[in-house]
């Protein structure tokens, strides 16, 4: 009985790491498929954590749209509605305290600035320019 259990556990362990290794390899292949020029142009990922039902968050929507259009190819804009089941993991991942919260990630995905509450476009653009966005 112990031998059977041990065999099953070892098999599950091998299966888990095989799947993990394959997913890592697929990610590497996907990254290679992307155009190097496109990878180099995204300087900032602007993550907005809020809700479609919150007033200051609604005020941020047109600003996010303008940023996405004006700085296309340099800034990636991402919105997560943290009041939904799909968005809740991002609220935990970024450890937000209030909404809206804006997180700015550099080209390597490292957070370099965070703001809570409504963020006027002029001030937001200053933060983008810190990483060379023009």
Percent of the chain past pLDDT 70, that is, above it, reads: 70
Per-residue pLDDT tens digits for 38-95: 455 899 999 999 999 999 999 999 999 999 999 999 999 999 999 999 999 999 999 9
CA distance 74 to 129: 11
Are 44 and 133 spatial neighbours (Cβ–Cβ below 8 Å)?
A: yes
- Terminal C-alpha separation, the chain: 67
At 23 the pLDDT is: 34
Q: Do β-strands 101-105 and 75-81 pair in parallel, antiparallel, or remain unpaired?
A: unpaired
CATH of 37-129, one of 3.40.50.300, 2.40.240.20, 1.10.645.10, 3.40.30.10: 3.40.30.10
pTM: 0.70
Domain ranges of the chain: 2-33, 37-129
DSSP run (H or E) holding 105: strand 101-105
Q: Which residue blocks in the chain are alpha helix, DSSP H? A: 2-33, 36-41, 55-70, 88-93, 121-129
- Is the pLDDT at 27 greater than 70? The verdict is no
Give the catalytic positions in this structure: 54, 57
Answer for the pair 79, 99: CB distance below 8 angstroms, yes or no. Answer: no
How far apart, in whole angstroms, are the C-alpha atoms of residue 102 and residue 113? 8
């Amino acid at each position: 009985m112990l031998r059977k259990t041990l065999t099953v556990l070892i098999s599950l362990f091998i299966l888990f790491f095989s799947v993990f290794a394959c997913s890592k390899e697929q990610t590497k292949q996907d990254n290679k498929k992307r155009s190097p020029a496109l990878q180099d142009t995204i300087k900032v990922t602007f993550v907005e954590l809020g809700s479609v039902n919150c007033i200051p968050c609604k005020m941020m929507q047109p600003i996010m749209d303008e940023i996405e259009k004006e700085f296309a190819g340099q800034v990636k804009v991402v919105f997560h509605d943290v009041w939904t089941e799909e968005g809740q993991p991002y609220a935990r991942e970024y450890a937000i305290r209030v909404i809206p919260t804006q997180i700015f990630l550099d080209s390597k995905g490292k957070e370099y600035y965070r703001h809570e509450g409504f963020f006027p476009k002029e001030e937001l653009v200053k933060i983008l320019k810190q990483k060379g966005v023009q």
